[in-house]
């Protein structure tokens, strides 16, 4: 006689196991939303969630039902919910050691600075200080160990990164961490930022940048570049996370952008003097031009993604997705925006 229940079969029913996990996730999320679980219980969830992997692994390895004809995944879900209820009084909600530290480097006699920031998975905000006697003021809520070094007097070099010893499957520490880094607007700064997996907001409009480089990661990036006292160079190497760039009014710079798999969006301010070099990737690219700007677009390579050029630009040479487009007054303008598509990728490029 054939068995009537799927879980009584010797074969593993992966869709049913996936449904169990989704139902369990929805149930736990609902209980958190209505306040059944405390913050300590949520901490336990993000620390001991690998119990679900154990249940799934047993089901895949054994390929049949566990005790009472139920999958091991069901027992793993039950254990996790039980521990969320009884764990806080037992002290099981302790996750990674999260501490808050402040790192300050005084401005002193510095006339310029080179600052290297290697960001972690925490949310990050980098902004301009209100002046005063500090070159760097960083308030970091973090796990692991912070490496903060500063050397030099007139030309200072500051480096900030994090090292983490040991292994943790918990997300609790990540949810509690945050980096807030203030930089001095009073001297020229060469700023180099390596983005991690956390979201990054770089409010740099008030800084005096002499050089800038951003290495993208998987976290989303919002970036505002300034109009510094002197023309400067900036470089953006995209990752898998989306990047949104804003350029301040009257900025003068050469900008090189190598787009990765994440989308790249740039909103250009007014009265720019900009030389923008684009290398496309698989992510879409969109450039929003300011009204009344004198713009020239040169596309050297058409790639597999479409190129759309608007904003009042007229084609003057080429065909299909290669060629030259420009506004009527570009050649006579004192301030120009030159956009060069050196290599197009598979993502669409829109300039408008």
Residues lower than pLDDT 50 in the chain: 1-10, 165-174
Classify domain 99-351 at the CATH topology level: Pectate Lyase C-like (2.160.20)
Pairing between β-strand 322-326 and β-strand 314-319 as defined by DSSP bridges: antiparallel
Residue extents of the structural domains in the chain: 7-90, 99-351
Identify the burial level of 9 via C-beta atoms within 10 angstroms of its C-beta, where 0-12 means exposed, 13-18 middle and 19 or more buried.
Answer: middle
Report the alpha-carbon distance of residue 150 to residue 104 in Å, rounded. 10
pLDDT value of position 56: 76
Give me the count of residues in the chain.
352
pLDDT value of position 20: 72
Report the alpha-carbon distance of residue 103 to residue 10 in Å, rounded. 59
Report the alpha-carbon distance of residue 17 to residue 9 in Å, rounded. 13
pLDDT value of position 49: 77
pLDDT in tens, 105-139: 999 999 999 999 999 778 899 999 997 899 999 99
Alpha carbon separation from 245 to 221, 222, 320 (Å, rounded): 8, 6, 28
Q: Rounded to 5, what percent of the chain is helix, strand, coil? A: 20, 40, 40
Q: Please give the full DSSP string across 29-69, using - where no structure is assigned.
A: HHHHHTT-S-HHHHHHHHHHTHHHHHHHHHHHHH-S--GGG
User: Please, are residues 105 and 158 in contact by the beta-carbon 8 Å criterion?
Assistant: yes
- The count of other CB atoms within 10 Å of the CB of residue 98 is 16
Report the alpha-carbon distance of residue 70 to residue 57 in Å, rounded. 14
pLDDT in tens, 165-222: 444 444 444 456 889 999 999 999 999 999 988 899 999 999 999 999 999 888 899 9
Pairing between β-strand 243-247 and β-strand 264-267 as defined by DSSP bridges: parallel
Report the candidate in 18, 16, 42 with the shortest Cα–Cα distance to residue 28: 42
Report the alpha-carbon distance of residue 344 to residue 86 in Å, rounded. 56
Instruction: State the residue for tokens 């956390």.
Output: 198
Pairing between β-strand 273-279 and β-strand 252-258 as defined by DSSP bridges: parallel
* Three-state SS annotation for 209-260: EEEEEEECCCCCEEEEECCCCCCEEEEEECCCCCEEEEECCCCEEEEEEECC
Instruction: State the residue for tokens 């990661």.
Output: 217
Would you state the structure tokens that stand for residue 184, as one six-digit string? 């001095």
Report the candidate in 264, 232, 251 with the shortest Cα–Cα distance to residue 344: 264
pLDDT value of position 101: 94
Question: Residue 131: which residues within 8 A CB-CB, separation 6 or more?
Answer: 184, 185, 186
Q: Please give the full DSSP string across 160-174, using - where no structure is assigned.
A: EEEE--S-----HHH
pLDDT value of position 9: 46
């Amino acid at each position: 006689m054939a068995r009537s229940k799927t879980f009584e079969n010797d074969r593993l029913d992966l869709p049913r196991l996936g449904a169990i996990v989704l139902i369990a996730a929805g149930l736990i999320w609902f209980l958190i939303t209505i306040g059944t679980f405390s913050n300590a219980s949520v901490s336990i969830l993000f620390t001991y969630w690998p119990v679900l992997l154990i249940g799934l692994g047993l089901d895949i390895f054994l390929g049949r039902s566990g005790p009472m004809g139920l999958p091991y995944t069901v027992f793993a879900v039950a254990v996790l919910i039980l521990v969320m209820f009884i764990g806080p009084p037992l002290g099981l909600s302790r996750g990674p050691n999260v501490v808050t530290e402040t790192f300050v480097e005084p401005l002193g006699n510095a006339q310029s600075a080179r600052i290297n920031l290697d960001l972690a998975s925490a949310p990050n905000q980098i902004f301009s200080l209100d002046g005063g006697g500090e070159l760097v003021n960083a308030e970091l809520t973090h796990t692991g160990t912070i490496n903060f070094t500063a050397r030099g007097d007139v030309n200072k070099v500051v480096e900030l990164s994090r090292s983490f010893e040991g292994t943790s499957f918990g997300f609790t520490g990540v949810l509690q961490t945050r980096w807030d880094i203030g930089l001095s607007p009073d001297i020229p700064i060469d700023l180099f930022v390596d983005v991690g997996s956390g979201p990054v907001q770089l409010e740099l409009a008030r800084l005096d940048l002499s050089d800038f480089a951003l290495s993208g990661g998987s976290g989303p990036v919002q970036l505002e570049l300034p109009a510094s006292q002197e023309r400067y160079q900036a470089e953006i190497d995209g990752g898998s996370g989306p990047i949104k760039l804003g350029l301040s009014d009257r900025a003068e710079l050469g900008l090189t952008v190598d787009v990765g798999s994440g989308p790249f969006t740039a909103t250009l301010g007014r009265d720019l003097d900009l030389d923008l070099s684009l290398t496309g990737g698989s992510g879409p690219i969109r450039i929003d031009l300011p009204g009344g700007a004198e713009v020239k677009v040169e596309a050297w390579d058409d790639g597999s993604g479409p190129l759309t050029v608007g904003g009042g630009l007229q084609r003057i040479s080429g065909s299909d997705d290669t060629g030259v487009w420009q506004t009527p007054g570009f050649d006579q303008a004192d301030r120009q925006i030159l956009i060069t598509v050196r290599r197009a990728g598979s993502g669409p490029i829109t300039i408008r």
